[in-house]
Amino acid sequence: MNEFRESFPDPEVDRITDFTELDPEDIKWRNREYFNNSDHRYDHGDVLSYHQVKHKISVVRNGDLNRVMNEFPKREPLTQQCAHWVRAIIGLHFFPDANHRTAMATLNTLLPLNGIEKFRWSDDQYKETIFKSKLIRKHIIDVRFDNLWSKDELYFLWHRYFVDRFYDISDFSHHSPDYERLDQAIEQLE
């Protein structure tokens, strides 16, 4: 990670406040790119056809995505904002698949737009966080617009992840799960 980040964000200054380069169609485009790119797994089950998946992505309501951006908590510290963003996108589960990847990719669009360096997010810690996130979202937390900015288990999971990523304080070496089994378990959840 150190070779990618030049500096750490200042919690008193660095915040996501500018969404001018991101609109609902950009978010849908990002998800559609995961669907269209054969290098990325996009699990839409055996129930939906190719055209049905494309349709489901296209009909995500722009008003709902705009609402996430318009109501976004712009005064919170950066790590909290990142946790809120990911929780909102994955929790509302706008797309048939790739909601986590879409949330992270669009977050990495927002960061430089707001003068903050991107970060790498496809590592073992990310995979483990996704696994936990999917379990929490599926079995514990029901994210809706009336509780969109709640600080619940899903929020705290992602907040811990972003604190570790931005401030490089994670000692992830103490726990090394079998990532092949973790990948298989993630596939079964979707």
Residues 6+ positions from 103 with CB-CB distance below 8 Å = 85, 86, 88, 89, 90
**Residue of 78, 56, 108, 62 whose CA lies nearest to 8:** 78
CA dihedral 164→154→23→61, nearest 10 degrees, is 170
Task: List pLDDT tens digits, range 123-160.
Answer: 888 999 999 999 999 999 999 999 999 999 999 999 99
Given pLDDT bands bounded at 50, 70 and 90, which one contains residue 12?
low
Task: List pLDDT tens digits, range 25-67.
Answer: 999 999 999 999 988 889 877 678 889 999 999 999 999 999 9
Given pLDDT bands bounded at 50, 70 and 90, which one contains residue 169?
low
**Domain spans, the chain:** 24-189
CA dihedral 152→157→158→159, nearest 10 degrees, is 80
pLDDT given at position 187: 78
pLDDT given at position 16: 97
